[in-house]
Amino acid sequence: MLDLWWKLHGKNLKSGANAYRRLQIMCEQLNDPIAATFTAKDFAHYRANRLTMGRGESRNGTELSTPSQNHDLLWMKTLSNELRRLKE
């Protein structure tokens, strides 16, 4: 779902590359979910259990801040909404 979003929409965004990196980490941790079957419940469970998304060696097992988690939710919603809008 991430690669399709990137190809059709994300690469055209000013902050698309940053969003892609964040979404890539989330998709890897979620085992590359299929957009059509990914639910709010899936994301809620992921968010409740996830750890840091630090860069490189800074991943120390601490939870992400609430604003960071909300930002990631925003990107996941953007990805989902755009694929739905494009009927993909």
**Can you give the pLDDT at residue 53?**
54
* Helices and strands of the chain, counted as H and E runs: 4, 0
Q: What is the pLDDT of residues 47-87, one digit of tens each?
A: 887 765 554 444 555 667 788 888 888 888 888 888 888 88
pLDDT of residue 80: 87
Query: Residue 57: what pLDDT?
Result: 47
Phi-psi label, residue 32: left if phi above 0, alpha if psi -120 to 50, beta otherwise: left
28-55 confidence digits (pLDDT tens): 888 888 877 888 898 888 888 776 555 4
For the stretch 33-38, contacts whose Cβ atoms lie closer than 8 Å and that sit 24 or more positions apart, written own/partner, are 33/1, 34/1, 35/1, 35/4, 35/79, 35/80, 35/83, 35/84, 35/88, 38/1, 38/80
Query: Between 8 and 61, where is the model more confident?
Result: 8
